[in-house]
Structures are given as C-alpha cells and as structure tokens.
Structure 1
Amino acid sequence: MISRRLFLSAALGALGTAAQAQTEGLLPFTGPDSAPRPKMRPVTGTTPGERGLEAILRAANVSGETHFAVADAATGSVLEQRDGDIGLPPASVTKALTALYALDVLGPSHRFRTRLLTTGPVTAGVLQGDLILAGGGDPTMDSDHLAALADDLKAAGVVEVRGRFLVWDRALPYVPTIDPGQPDYLGYSPAISGLALNFNRVHFEWKRAGQGWNTTLQARTAHRRPDVTMARMKIVDRSAPVFAYLHERGVDSWSVARAALGKEGARWLPVRRPGLYAADVFRTIARDKGLRLGVPEFLDQAPEGTPIAQHSSEPLTKLLKDMLKYSNNLMAEMIGLAATARIGGDMTNLASSARQMSEWARVKYGMTSSLLVDHSGLGEDSRLSATDLVRALSAAHGMGQLKPLLKQVHLKDSKGRPLYDHPVKVMAKTGTLNFVSGLGGFVTTADGRELVFAIFSADLDKRAGIARSQRERPRGAKSWNARAKRLQLQLIERWAHLHSA
C-alpha cells in the first residue's frame, strides 16, 4: 500500500518535473495563448505629460506657433510650458503689462487733469486776456466734460473773452495713428496727443434723402451731439476703397464710396488732429452757451496762467479696469506714454516709450526676452514671451494689483456656451489680431489653488499675406481665431485638472 504522504510527494515531484520540462521546451505549453494585459486608458487633454498635451494641440488645428507657460502663482514655479521663452505678438494682452507699468509709476490714485487757464483779470464779466484749454493727457475726456468746463467758466462770471483762444496739447507727443499698418478709417487706431476727446473718434451717420443722403459728423455722447467743423465727408463715385482720408488745410477730409451706402447707417471714424477736434467742439459748446471764442491757436510750450476751471478724470485704477475690460487702445497708449513721461523717459513716439516700458519690465520682473513697440498691442512687431509674462503675473499676484482689474473669462461646454457656474475661475486679458491670439492671467482651481498663465498663438505667414486694405475682415482669420480661443480654454481646463492642490 502507498501511504498518503508518499502519494503527495510523488505528485508534487511530477508537477515540478513537468514545469521544468515546459520551461526548457521539452513539452508543449498548455496554458492560455497570451498573458492578459491591462486595458489602455484613452489619451485626453488631462493625460499628464507630453501625450496629453499633444492630444490637445493636434485636435486644436491652430496653424503657426503656440507658446505657453503656467506657474504656481505663489511661488512662480513653472508647472508646464512649451517654447515659453520665445516671444510672439501678444496683441492686447500687452495692456496687462501696461496696467502694471502705470500702477507702479503713476500710482493707483493718479488722476489726469484738463484745465482752463486765464492770462488776465475778469472785469465785469470780460476776460481781459487769453483763455487756454490745456490738456493733461486724459484719455477719457468727452463732450460732456467739455460742456461742464464751459459751465464752470460761466459760473466764474466770464461772459466774454477779449484775448485769444489758446490750446495746449503737448503733454503727450502727437502720433498720427497708433498703427500705420491699419486702414485709415478704423476707429481703433486714432491719433494721439495730450488732449483727447471721445476716444479721438467722430461719429459719421448717413440717411437716405431722395436721390442722395443727409450726413452728419458729430462729437457724439449719450447726452450731446455737437457738430464738428474740423472733419468733412464727401460722397463719391468709386468702387473701392469704401473710405479714403486726406488731411487738407487743417481739416480731416473723408470720402465714402456711394455704392457702399445703404438706406442709412453709422460708424465711428478716427480723428487725426485730436487737439483741434477738442478745441473745435469746445468752441461749439461755448457758443451755444453764449460765449464766443476765437479761432484756436496752438502753444508749443506748457502754458502759464491762472486756473479758472478744471476737470479731473476718475482714479487710475478705474481707468485701467475700463481699459482692460473694453481693450481700449487709445487709453493704453496715453496711459503708457504718461508713465514714461513721469520717469523722464524717451516718449518721442510710441516705440521709444514702449522700449522704456520693456526696460522697466526687465528691471522690475526680470523679463529678458520681450520687446514691445507700443502700449496697446496693436502693433504686430511687438514680442512677448509666455514665461516673461508669467513672471510679472506671479509678482502682481503677490501684491494683489492686477487680478481685481481683469475681466472674468468663462470656460465653455462642448457647444461653446459659457459655463457661468464652473468651479474653475479665470480672470485674464484677451488679445486678438488677425491670425494672432493671446490670453494671460490668473486661474483659481476648483479646490482653491492659484495659477498664473500666458498663451500666445500666431500664424505670422498668414498674417503677412493680408493686404492693408483687407485688415478689417481678412478671409480665414475669424475661424482661425475661434480655434485659437478654444485651445486656450482647453489648456486652462487641463492645468486646472492636473495642478489642483
């Protein structure tokens, strides 16, 4: 008989011999054909590392280059970047840096002043001297403010001016247009001087009247519609261009193609002589209040006189919040120039002032790979790197300066609808030119971690192929910019997911 112990020992030995034989290839393997493998997860935008990042970039289908960086807001430590040290045109994201420049140099409570000065006494209501309209670089002056100055002048007892009507607009340099590469008629590239009015735009309106049209050019606000004499409009027979501009004997002379006018319409046109524009409108308003002024004469030097009336702008923080919200180019340029003037820098033109701002950013934030040509981002030759901007944003986060001034950017669902209750909050500055798109600012993740980021995309070859006359609506630019904006939000969702606390 075989004992139980002997049986078990023999069986185990046989199994061991069989296993060894299979290992050495002496017996056929009788197990499964292949070993089971773990199921691969699909690669998505929230997949860590290069695979997830490449998935987002491929799906975005944004031609040209896309550079970005994201960092911890508190430490400035970069969490992810792609060509972050290589500059691209930042478009209006530049305005975020301009805001920091102005806050540092001018201070958050700074106000711009526009003054009326007199050079003689007021006797029995008659000013025995000159009246001076002196601009102080206020980018928000409008026709209502000029009317208030005229009211203050009357309240001071002035009913007649025996002397000259003088104007000083040299607090800032004269610049004929923010970006010479833009078509003449685009209102977002007006002229600049130390005296501005209605964002240096004139309101052109037309209405059909019989076989022709009635037209007006006005310094329009919500409350006033004073006519303008320093700008004129002619309707001409031509197919293109729709608008054409000439400066003729001190007048902004516009013409419009007859075929382009429908039954009625309106648009804002840029003003090319803003000091003359403000003087013209002030004369009209004063005349309507019974005070006649002579033809304006312009001063080259800062005036001396006795203040009789003054308008002060809102504090700088309010101006910057509006500038960033509405992406107003004129405000950015005038505020940037004022900051350069305060530090005694070169403000011969926009490019020289922007170089001063670039140097300030290098010293202040260590921004070494950025060079700007203006303060608004309208010029395509500006270059700003993502890591440079992230450095500045991280520093600004520590001081609590910029974030409260920025506009909220909402993440969107798969159909492009804003998700107003999304737990991830984004406060940022957008930037858009044809085939150029940027976004920079602050992200608060669902669990409260603060991030700073900058994203720049540009297809410079496509942009270079746009004729100057086509820069308002070039073919393909709208869809390209829409794809770039979707990519920005997808990157933010990725970072909010991967870098939550």
Structure 2
Amino acid sequence: MKKWRKLLVSIVVVFMVSGAVFIPVTVDSSVEAAASYTNLKNTINNIMMDSRMRNASTSVAIRKASTGEIVYQYDGDKEITPASSLKLLTVAAALDTLGEDYRFSTAVLTDGKVKNGILNGNLYLRGQGDPTLLKIQLNSFADGLVKQGIKQISGNLVGDDTWFDSVRLSAGILAEDEPYYYAAPISALTLSPNDDFDAGSVIVEAKPAVSGKATQVTLTPLTSVLQVVNNSRTVPKGNKSTLKITRQVGTNKVVITGNSPIGSSGAKEWISVTNPTLYTLDVFKRSLAEKGITFAISSKIVQGKTSERAHVLLSKKSMPLKELIVPFMKLSNNTHAEMLAKEMGKVKYRVGSWDAGLKVMREYADSIGLDSNYWHFEDASGMSYSNKITSSQLSQLLYVVRSEPWYHTYMNSLPIAGESDRFIGGTLRNRMKMAPAKGNVIAKTGSLENIKSLAGYAKTKDGETLIFTILTENAKTSTIPVIDQIATAITNLK
C-alpha cells in the first residue's frame, strides 16, 4: 500500500514541480485568480525587503492546498534549521505509525503474594512511554493497592523503564538548556507536574515571605529528588524583583537567588530532573505513604527490569494519541516529540531508541514522496541546531497529509492565530490577534535563538486555503513580526 502511495505522490510531485516553473493556464483558471496571486507575490516581495528579513537566511514557499501548485517561492530549496516546525513531520509519522487511537500503558506489578496485609515481594512500577502520567494517577494506584488489602511491602520499589533505551538526551541539547522542562531527559517511566504534561519536570515556585527572610519555596509535585538551595531574599514592596530559579547542570541541585518584593507574584520555573524514573518512584512512594502503605526498613527504591514471575496488580492507559497531540502540538512539547519518536521505534522495530524512531520518521517521509536529500534531522522535537529542511519540502508535507485519513486530527492539533485559549491558540494565541488573520492562520511555530519559523495553512478572504512555510535563521533581530505580516497578507488575498 505504501509503495502505491509513494508512486502516486511521485507522479503528483512531477506535475507540482513542473507547475512551479511553468505555471499552466487550465480551462478553469481565471484572470482574476492569476492577478490575485501576482498581487500576493508583489506584496510578499515588498515585505521581504524588511531589513530583518534581508539580514537573515530565509526560505519561503506558498502552495495551493487544492492542487499543491506553488504560487510563491523565495529560496524554496535553501536548507534552514526548522526548530519546532520539524514537529509537523513527527506528528504525521506518529499518526501514521501508531494510529489515532494508540494509548500508552503504565502498570503496577509484583512477584510476591499478600498475607496478613503484607506484600511479601517487590512492587514494580513499569512504564511504557506515557508522557501524561500525573501524581493523581499514582494516588489512584495507591488506592487500588489498599483495596487489595496491602498495608506493607517487604521488598523493593522497582522502577522499570526498559521499554526505552537508556539514552536520556537527544542530540544537540545544549548544557544551558538542560535544567529546564523543554530539554528534560527522556525515560519510559516519567511523570508530569500538571496537565500541560511537561514530562520529567517539577514546578518550582518561590514567593515573597517575611521581609528580610528567604522566599517561600514550593515544589509541584512534592519530591525529594531535587535539592533546593534557597539563597533568595524577601525585600520591601517597591523593590525590583531579581528572582532566578535554575538547576546546576549534571546535578539535582536547584539554586534560587535574587530578591522578591512583598506583594509581587514571585517566580516560577519548570525544572527538569536528571533521572525521571527515580523521580516517578519517589512521588509514587509518597502516594503510597499518604494511603498508609509502608515499606520494610530494608526496602530500597531501585531501577530494574520487572521479574518474569511478576503479575499485574493494576494498570492504566493514557488518553488516545488523537487527544495527546493537542497539548503536544499546541504547546510545542519537546518531550512528547522525543518520546513519540522512541515509541515509533519500539512499535515498528522493537527498539525504543532515537535511531529506530528517526528511521521510522524518515521512512514515512520517503513513503509520501518527500525528498530525503532535503531532510536532515537528529531529533524529533527540533531542538538541534543541526537540523535542516527546506520550505518547499515542508510545504509539500503539509500538502500531502491532506489526503491522509487522520488529517482532521492533524489539523486539530495545530495552533490557531489569535485564539486566547491555550489549547486552541497554543503558541499562536498572542500573535495575529486581529482580522483577517485571527482564526484563519492555523500553523506550527518554531523558535530557537536567532531562528524563527511558521508553517501551516491560511484561509484567504475568498475562502481558498493556501499552504505556507516560512523559515528564517541567522537573524540579528526577531523575524516574527515580518513572518506574521506574510501570513496576514495571505489572509488578505481576494
């Protein structure tokens, strides 16, 4: 089936590429439409004269969503670092490989038996790549064990994360990014602090307390895997807030510095942990303790593989992929992208690694007729500065996926310009907030230092949908305002 799809797409691509050079005048083409695209071309060429674009490396491509025909191109084959726009390929490959209804599993198992309220054996928490696991679900597991009559555990609490390999950070992660949620280590057993699902991170918040004293610090969820060094101070109202929260690279030491004026909101950071598996186990043990379940003095918290003799006591399934990709794409969640890559590798090649997962992504791109010569990536989130693609290829992806059975789900995951709800507007909620762009630009953002991108769909005033991709890098100042001008110009087309 894939071979036939690739052949069909290849035939379409030949005509699309030809159309990019010799735009044919078909029977149903109108003079008004041709003039309209000419006006769009002139408008965008004028926008491209902005110094912010002239000082950046830029690649732009605009296609008709109905036919794939290119109506505007500026260095369409120039290779640019896409940042998070790469997630457009990641989510397409995940939907194709795993399916819209795919769910991740987490289970509690034991190799022992319960007698007189004591579980004589180890308790295993086995993760299989769920990035949406929350403390409330660990509490539910604890409740379930209580209902099974368990009051004490004689053995160890074992975290099984062997569903994925042991490589924690994707290629290209910078040391300066490691302390924060967007570069959190990847584990098959991990925990999110809230329903944004920033897996592998803890919300660290510092608020003013009594003047002259240290700020009040809270961790969500409460965990002892982070060691907090609080060097901050509460200062009188009217002073400048200089609070900073970070984690020392390579350690779990969180350092809080600066001043927090009385009456201010303080500071909040999503801080990553160095070992998501041990983090999840620590919080689970707290959930057990809260329900009155204790461990023997000799019990330990360890990582390991579930015993072949173990049987399942409790299990849960995550939300289906069609729901999970909403926070993933709307909020541009990097850990979701990398976990999906490893999951694709595990499902297709039985290896939960980046090598296997990225191979699946490349195979999907090849199956729909994309040119692998223009796709270079070493992660699934777009965090690596070494990733390179072209606007022409990315816009072609956006054209081809319109024929996929899961296209509606794909579209539903993309941020919508100007929509204030975080799970609708996503990373575009504070951009293009006025008509005609508001609500009519549906696209994936990308952002790294000196790199900005936007790729998706825009509806014109006469109701036509155009596909656009705008990639910029090496910019001395942010190109976002100019990118938004181009997207807005498309929605002004009539």
The residue aligned with 1:204 is 204
Deviations 1:163-215 (A, max 9, x none): 22111012223444452343343232111111111121122233445654255
**Does residue 453 of the first structure (1) align with residue 463 of the second (2)?**
no
C-alpha separation in 2, matches of 1:170 and 1:49: 53
Alignment of 1:248-327 (within 5 A): 252-257=252-257, 259=258, 264-293=266-295, 294-300=299-305, 305-327=310-332
C-alpha separation in 1, matches of 2:439 and 2:432: 15
Q: Secondary structure at the match of 2:49?
A: helix
**Does residue 371 of the first structure (1) align with residue 376 of the second (2)?**
yes
**Does residue 245 of the first structure (1) align with residue 240 of the second (2)?**
no
Q: Offset at 1:69?
A: 0.9
The residue aligned with 1:473 is none
The residue aligned with 2:444 is 429
Percent sequence identity over aligned pairs: 24
**TM-score (norm: length of structure 1):** 0.76
Alignment of 1:413-428 (within 5 A): 418-419=433-434, 425-428=440-443
Q: Which consecutive residues of structure 2, in runs of 5 or more, have no partner in the other structure? A: 1-35, 193-198, 233-241, 420-429
C-alpha separation in 2, matches of 1:165 and 1:172: 19
C-alpha separation in 1, matches of 2:416 and 2:460: 14
The residue aligned with 2:235 is none
C-alpha separation in 1, matches of 2:134 and 2:122: 23
Distance 1:345 1:308, change over 3 A: closer
The answer on whether the counterparts of 2:114 and 2:150 sit within 8 Å (CA) in structure 1 is yes
Distance 1:404 1:382, change over 3 A: same
The answer on whether the counterparts of 2:60 and 2:468 sit within 8 Å (CA) in structure 1 is yes
**Does residue 193 of the first structure (1) align with residue 187 of the second (2)?**
yes
Distance 1:87 1:146, change over 3 A: same
State the Cα RMSD in Å.
3.1
Distance 1:389 1:234, change over 3 A: same
Deviations 1:201-246 (A, max 9, x none): 12223344565425545233xxxxxx31111022459x99974515
The answer on whether the counterparts of 2:127 and 2:189 sit within 8 Å (CA) in structure 1 is yes
The residue aligned with 2:349 is 344
Aligned pairs, number: 421
C-alpha separation in 2, matches of 1:260 and 1:119: 51
Letter in 1 for 2:456: G
The answer on whether the counterparts of 2:418 and 2:438 sit within 8 Å (CA) in structure 1 is no
Structure 2 counterpart of 1:406, from 399, 414, 434? 414
The answer on whether the counterparts of 1:217 and 1:228 sit within 8 Å (CA) in structure 2 is no
Letter in 2 for 1:56: I
Q: Offset at 1:410?
A: 4.3
Q: Secondary structure at the match of 2:214?
A: strand
Letter in 2 for 1:407: P
Distance 1:451 1:233, change over 3 A: same
The residue aligned with 2:33 is none
C-alpha separation in 2, matches of 1:449 and 1:195: 45
C-alpha separation in 1, matches of 2:402 and 2:292: 53
Structure 2 counterpart of 1:163, from 151, 155, 160? 155
The residue aligned with 2:59 is 67
The residue aligned with 2:223 is 228
C-alpha separation in 2, matches of 1:416 and 1:354: 31
Distance 1:242 1:422, change over 3 A: closer
The answer on whether the counterparts of 1:440 and 1:453 sit within 8 Å (CA) in structure 2 is yes
Q: Secondary structure at the match of 2:165?
A: coil
The answer on whether the counterparts of 2:417 and 2:442 sit within 8 Å (CA) in structure 1 is yes
The answer on whether the counterparts of 1:73 and 1:394 sit within 8 Å (CA) in structure 2 is yes
The answer on whether the counterparts of 1:202 and 1:217 sit within 8 Å (CA) in structure 2 is no
C-alpha separation in 2, matches of 1:280 and 1:182: 26
Q: Offset at 1:286?
A: 0.6
Greater mean deviation of Cα atoms: 358-367 or 330-339? 358-367
The residue aligned with 1:224 is none
Distance 1:303 1:261, change over 3 A: farther
The answer on whether the counterparts of 1:139 and 1:331 sit within 8 Å (CA) in structure 2 is yes
C-alpha separation in 2, matches of 1:336 and 1:435: 26
Structure 2 counterpart of 1:120, from 112, 115, 119? 112
Letter in 1 for 2:48: L
Greater mean deviation of Cα atoms: 194-203 or 393-402? 393-402
The residue aligned with 1:56 is 47
Letter in 1 for 2:134: D
Deviations 1:443-478 (A, max 9, x none): 222222222221111116x5xxxxxxxxxxxxxxxx
Q: Secondary structure at the match of 1:135?
A: strand
Alignment of 1:49-198 (within 5 A): 51-59=42-50, 61-62=52-53, 63-178=55-170, 179-198=173-192
C-alpha separation in 2, matches of 1:277 and 1:269: 12
The residue aligned with 1:360 is 364
Deviations 1:303-335 (A, max 9, x none): 652111112111101100111111111112112
Q: Which consecutive residues of structure 1, in runs of 5 or more, have no partner in the other structure? A: 1-44, 221-226, 463-479
C-alpha separation in 1, matches of 2:254 and 2:431: 40
Distance 1:295 1:280, change over 3 A: same
C-alpha separation in 2, matches of 1:489 and 1:241: 32
The residue aligned with 2:392 is 387
The answer on whether the counterparts of 1:119 and 1:306 sit within 8 Å (CA) in structure 2 is yes
Q: Offset at 1:373?
A: 1.7
**TM-score (norm: length of structure 2):** 0.77
Distance 1:305 1:433, change over 3 A: same
The answer on whether the counterparts of 1:367 and 1:391 sit within 8 Å (CA) in structure 2 is no
The residue aligned with 1:14 is none
C-alpha separation in 2, matches of 1:219 and 1:175: 26
C-alpha separation in 2, matches of 1:340 and 1:299: 21
The answer on whether the counterparts of 1:203 and 1:268 sit within 8 Å (CA) in structure 2 is yes
The residue aligned with 1:219 is 220
